[in-house]
Amino acid sequence: MTTVAFYDTKPYDRQFMVAAATDVIHWVFHDFRLTAETAATARGADAVCVFVNDRLDRACLEQLAGCGIHHVALRCAGFNNVDLVAAGRLGFLVTRVPAYSPHAVAEHTVALVLTLNRRIHRAYNRVREQNFSLSGLVGFDLHGKTCGIVGTGRIGRVAAEIFRGFGMRVVAYDPFPMADWAAAHGIEYRSFDEVLSVSDILTLHLPLTPATHHLLNADTVSRLKPGAMVVNTSRGKLIDTKAVIEALKRGHLGGLAIDVYEEEEGIFFEDLSGEVLQDDELSRLLTFPNVLVTAHQAFLTREALSEIARVTVENLSLVGRGEPFLAGTRVEEAG
Ligand code: NAI
């Protein structure tokens, strides 16, 4: 039996993980996040299981190593929250779930675009108050418009194909283009600059790395087509929030739909409805009628949760028995 300290636990995590691991894993579920301050709670476990807002910096990893733990199992695809250099030096095996459901994230991306464009978020509230006026709810046809996809990995490709289904022109930028796929779906690879300047909707589907931090900043945002809508379901720090707030105020940016936020750690996944929000930039974003924020829920489908649980449990039990982890799930320094 492998003992796993599980952090940032939500009811759906518990439900899907327990169902996937009947008698092979002893779970120790913690509601709080894993950080250097909480790492001592892992003592006695064989491995830790973490999510996007747990913070596995050097100090945290040193504490885990001191507790005799050598396996970090991420139950997500992104791994920007783990100091991989420190993890490598301390001899950690870091695994993740590289692809649980690209459809879940791509479909949420499209849901954000449709909601924001057709003002469904505003219409929903209006009609519930018996306000049946249509003023201020004018959207635009997706058909014939241009969608720019930055990052044509698993999720970006699914999103691109769905947008093609609306009759949109789809242009894409990726340092590793997939020419055959693009040709098969009528998608055009262009330079990053061109994608910025021609897109009516620009959507980000790339990992957060030092090179992609603030990919959208004051300079790149100013090169977007005036009135463009920006969508981010990847990682919050891809966008410089201050720069997009300025562009929204000027009217240069036509809309912003985000499922991730630069400083979401400690805010997203929590019910703060009775509290005073301390984050001034998020508070400002929430005041714009043309900004839509969801709290990192793009992955949240039954299919994705089942697959996350299956791969995570299999890796934890394989490694616990001293057997090789699943191919393709190891995260290494080179990323
Ligand atoms: P992937 O690894 O399959 O694809 C990423 C793509 O980005 C690759 O094709 C890569 O070449 C490209 N890329 C790297 N640097 C780039 C750059 N500077 N410009 C343009 N493209 C670049 O990853 P996948 O599965 O498609 O996931 C994308 C991101 O979505 C993840 O990194 C993760 O952060 C995020 N994500 C968000 C979720 C949510 O619930 N909101 C759930 C799952 C993933």
Q: Which two tokens stand for residue 226?
A: 């005036």
Query: Is 275 a residue of the active site?
Result: no
**Residue 184 and residue 38 in one domain:** no
Is 235 within 8 Å of 205 (Cβ atoms)?
no
Q: Which amino acid is at 217?
A: N
d(CA 203, CA 205): 7
Number of domains in the chain: 2
**Residue 117 and residue 65 in one domain:** no
pTM comes to 0.93
Q: Which helix (H) or strand (E) holds 228?
A: strand 228-232
pLDDT value, residue 334: 65
d(CA 253, CA 3): 49
What residues make up the domain containing 200?
102-293
**Residue 184 and residue 274 in one domain:** yes
CA proximity to 319, closest of 94, 100, 97: 94
pLDDT value, residue 335: 46
pLDDT in tens, 216-259: 999 999 999 999 999 999 999 999 999 999 999 999 999 999 99
pLDDT in tens, 2-29: 999 999 999 999 999 999 987 889 999 9
**Residue 211 and residue 122 in one domain:** yes
Q: What is the CATH number of the domain that holds 179?
A: 3.40.50.720
**Residue 96 and residue 110 in one domain:** no
pLDDT in tens, 127-179: 999 999 999 999 999 999 999 999 999 999 999 999 999 999 999 999 999 99
Q: In 10 A of CB 68, how many CB atoms? A: 11
* Span 268-286, average pLDDT: 96
**Residue 145 and residue 170 in one domain:** yes
**Residue 309 and residue 250 in one domain:** no
CA proximity to 262, closest of 279, 248, 249: 279
* Span 198-213, average pLDDT: 97
Residue holding tokens 């005036």? Answer: 226
**Residue 7 and residue 126 in one domain:** no
Pocket of ligand 1 (CB under 6 A): 77-78, 99, 102, 105, 150-156, 173-176, 205-207, 212, 233-235, 259-260, 296, 298-299
Q: Which of 235, 262, 307, 310 is catalytic?
A: 235
**Residue 96 and residue 157 in one domain:** no
